[in-house]
Structure 1
Amino acid sequence: MTDGRSGAYSVSGLPDGAEIAWVADLGYPVHALPVLTRDTLLVGDSLGRVHAFDAATGEQRWRFPDHDYDLNAHDESYKTVVTVWRDEVVVGVCGEFDYFDTFADAGYDDDEESEADEFEDDDEEEVDDLIDEQISFLDLRSGRLLRTAPRDWYPSVVGDRLVLISLNGGVRAVTLPDLTPLWSNRKASGRVQTSPAAGPDGLIYLSGGREANRTHGGLVALDLRTGRTRFAYEPEEEVFAETGPPHAVVAEGLVWKPVLRDEEDERPEHPGEIVGLDPLTGEKRWSHLVKGRPDGSVAVADGVVCFVVSGGEDGVHAVDIETRGTLWTRKLPGAGVGTPVLAAGVLYMATGKGTVLAFDAATGEQRWALDLGEYIDDRELDHEALYDEIPPAVLPADGMLYVRTGTGVVALRQRS
């Protein structure tokens, strides 16, 4: 279930050291953060497959589709992102954006709110052809396909509603489990490429992506009940030159967003920026400037906001929210990848070369570092992809960490 996406987890993690517990070599990169539900770890790979593992042992419980592809026949890379509603696994497989199909499927007029169209019957489509970018609903226990929904929409679960995102089709919502249309918002089209964060007053916040005409960027707040736009935040001269969009975060009474500006623009008035917005009005309440480019989104907990910067003040930064002063900065042994996460007073971060690091969130002291022997692939899709946010690379759990890699997933446990 989507929540405030603060990057803070109420789990123990691995504060005192780590070793490899098990490795799942899928043969293809994992671009999206795995999902842990009860004792099952769900992983989507870049070929459009979903794998379910015993979270403790790594034993594979099922795979969908349950047949072997000719892996050498596929050179496209997909983001297969998994979310869970009760005992159903909702899967979105997103590749390059199809401009004409998206508008044809949307069928909306130019009003800000229009009635959502009914789902088309997909029964005649090939059940196992996930490369067609359909939304699939699977049984959590068996991986059996329950039903499908139309292609060219990216799914995200918020409570008992399924929020569907399309780059140029806007945002719409349907009920779960019956998929009854609730609303659509076409005004959010042409900008959204990230999953929402849920906030107060029934609002959801979606951070924009990037494209050549610069109609992306910023952040839009929608009413989950009606689909109406509450506000749009559009920071000046925001660009996404060589990175996917960061997702919005709701924590500590604010909506957080990194603002990215042209990395070739060396004017001091145009640095990177971390902003905190009023969750009801979008007014900027908090700001911290950085030299360089914020990579990924932020993690916020216990009065501290943490983020990674490259191309300037490289490394992990922790900033006190009340004073807006930097608490600590630590260099990384390579380019950081993904968004940092927090658990039990420890910040976890990874590098593209596959080193996982743990820092004391209060002091920045390095607790441990472990080389996985696997790189972490964070190449974004085409800049007009349906979905292209950069997620964390590390998922903390009680007594475990799960790390997405360029070939699958690596599970870590407490060092013996």
Structure 2
Amino acid sequence: MADGGRSGAHPVTGLPDRARIAWIAETGFPVHGTPVLADDTLLAGDSIGRVHAFDAATGERRWRSPDEDHTPGPGYDVFTTAVDVWRDQVVVGVCDGTGYFDGLADAGYDGEELDDGEVGILDLRSGALLRKVGRGGYPAVVGDTLLLIGLNSGVRALSLPDLTPLWWNKKAEGCVQTAPATGPDGLLCLSCGWEGNRTHGGILALDLRTGKRRFRYSPQEESYGDNPPHATVAEGLIWKPVHRSTDQIVGLDPLTRKPRWRHRVRPGSPSGSVAVADGRVYFATHGDEPAVHAVDIETREEVWTRPLPAAGVGTPVFAEGVVYTATSKGTVLALDAATGEPRWSLDTGLDIDVKEPNDEALYEETASAVLPTDGTLYVRTATGVVALR
């Protein structure tokens, strides 16, 4: 994870002035996770459990794992295919437990152990499977530590590259299947799903070094419904939208564990999480009038609001004074972070798929659609990835 705090602020140039479609890479099925850039390779996981590697400059396919064509029937199970990178290795988590990496079930793991999916490590250059990781979970790389966030089996930490177990917090259940945010002094912030009589939303803070619980923040009467957002650590606070009757965004003090900052969202409700940069909080809202908003952290006043032509997808991102977002209809927008005025917008002609609401969506985030880099934006779509330059 390059942005450990998940602030949404990327130290790259992006595309501040104009954009055109440079290439389109097909996966055949929706890409639900934000693409990952590893050196000159772009990685994307599709909704049937495959990982695709493309040349980041040209969009040419380098490999696909597993390298087989598969056409599931109507109503097929939609996978959460999570991808992260450590050096020259690709960590892949397929969160559905279906035997994606051959041999796990044969090795004696029972159904409960496979509940949290399966994790494998691939070679970045070839896509070859290097090894399998016992049990599963949503993978996230933090330095030389591999975190596996299980819905039912808690959170585990393994050292890289040898996968030596470091700790296992079995009580950390019900966490959202998304990368956590990290902060000073080993702070590890996980977002919790909301499900009646089981999990109650909020934030679970662990110690990255030991796995021990530091605190849990659970707003009263919180109810996300589907696709809860990740936590963000930035500007000395822990940020998170709180979906309840007041629809607030809160900033928690990591020492007092209480909200030190609040902003009531109107109109609409927060969609995704927040990006925090240059003393402002940026977020999208959904409802009858979808929009992107900017709020000044010091004054807590809304600086600008920019309507969107359709529902926004995931959390906006920030790079060098520009806020980028995309809509479900495939329009990508670049907004001036200071004023909210459009720098440019481009209709890719490609829809961006959002998972249909279901029981699993209680623990799955809608990922950001846009990955900004130096001179290129990569945008996930319902059929692959499009690169803008």
Query: Counterparts of 2:191 and 2:356 in 1: how far apart (Å)?
Result: 16
User: Which of 151, 164, 167 is residue 148 of structure 2 equivalent to?
Assistant: 164
Q: Which residue of 2 aligns with 1:348?
A: 324
Q: 1:194 to 1:70 in 2, by over 3 A?
A: closer
Maintained 8 Å contact 1:210/1:383: no
Over the matched positions of the two proteins, sequence identity in percent amounts to 64
Q: d(CA) in 2 for partners of 1:131 and 1:81?
A: 15
Determine the C-alpha separation between the residues in 1 that align with 2:161 and 2:362: 24
Question: What pairs up with 1:72-83 in 2 under 5 angstroms?
Answer: 72=73, 75-83=76-84
Q: Is the 8 A contact 2:26 2:384 kept in 1?
A: yes
In structure 1, C-alpha distance between the alignment counterparts of 2:66 and 2:74, rounded to whole Å = 16
- In structure 2, the partner of 1:224 is 208
Counterpart of 2:163, as a letter, is L
Aligned length: 378
Supply the AA of the counterpart residue of 1:275: V
Alignment of 1:282-361 (within 5 A): 282-291=257-266, 292-311=268-287, 314-361=290-337
How far apart in 1 are the matches of 2:240 and 2:151?
A: 19
Q: Output one character per residue of 1:140-182: Cα deviation in whole Å (capped at 9) or x when no partner.
A: 1111100011344221111111111111211111111111111
The 8 Å contact of residues 40 and 55 in structure 2, kept in 1 or not, is answered as yes
Whether 1:22 and 2:5 are equivalent positions in the alignment is no
Aligned equivalents of 2:161, 2:152: Cα separation in 1: 26
Equivalent positions of 1:189-208 (< 5 A) are 189-208=173-192
How does 1:183-262 map onto structure 2 within 5 Å? 183-241=167-225, 243-261=226-244
Aligned residue in 2 for 1:134: 118
Post-superposition shift, 1:348? 0.5
**Pick aligned residue for 1:382 from 342, 358, 366:** 358
> 1:289-319 CA distances to partner (integer Å, 9 max, x unpaired)?
1133100000000001000112376411100
SS in 2 for 1:18: coil
Encode CA deviations 1:190-213: one digit per residue, 9 max, x unaligned. 344332111011111001112233
Following superposition, the deviation at residue 380 of structure 1 comes to 4.9
TM-score scaled to structure 2, two decimals?
0.92
2:194 and 2:363 in contact (8 A); partners too: no
Q: Kindly tell me: are residues 334 and 407 of structure 1, through their superposed partners in 2, closer, same or farther at Cα, counting changes over 3 Å?
A: same
- Give ranges in structure 1 of 5+ residues lacking alignment: 99-120, 262-269
CA distance in 2, matches of 1:56, 1:253: 37
Q: In 2, Cα distance between the equivalents of 1:380 and 1:155?
A: 23
Secondary structure at the aligned position of 2:166 is classed as strand
Deviations 1:246-266 (A, max 9, x none): 0011111111101012xxxxx
Alignment RMSD: 2.3
Q: Distance in 2 between matches of 1:194 and 1:245?
A: 10
Aligned 1:138-153 pairs, distance under 5 A: 138-153=122-137
Runs ≥4 residues deviating over 3 A:
70-74, 121-125, 130-133, 384-387
Picking from 265, 275, 279, the partner of 2:250 is 275
What amino acid maps onto 2:130 in structure 1? L
Partner of 2:377: 401
TM-superposed deviation, 1:69: 1.9
Q: What is the distance in 2 between the residues matched to 1:385 and 1:345?
A: 33
Residues 321-344 of structure 1: per-residue CA shift (max 9 Å, x gap): 011111100100011111100011
Q: Distance in 2 between matches of 1:251 and 1:407?
A: 33
CA distance in 2, matches of 1:88, 1:366: 38
Which residue of the partner structure matches residue 103 of structure 1?
Answer: none
Which amino acid is 2:40 matched to?
A: D
Aligned letter for 1:188? A
How far apart, CA to CA, are the structure 2 residues paired with 1:124 and 1:180?
A: 22
CA distance in 2, matches of 1:380, 1:160: 35
- Local SS of the residue matching 2:42: strand
Unaligned runs of 5+ in 2: 108-113
Aligned 8 A contact 1:154 1:386 in 2: no
- What letter is aligned with 1:174? L
Q: Give the Cα separation in 2 of the matches to 1:246 and 1:132.
A: 19
Instruction: Give 1:25 shift.
Output: 1.7
Change (3 A) 1:281 1:89: farther
Query: Does structure 2 conserve the Cα–Cα contact (< 8 Å) formed by 1:167 and 1:385?
Result: no
What secondary structure is seen at the aligned counterpart in 2 of 1:201? Answer: helix
Residues 180 and 212 of structure 1: CA distance in aligned 2, closer, same or farther (over 3 Å): same
Which residue identity is paired with 1:400? T
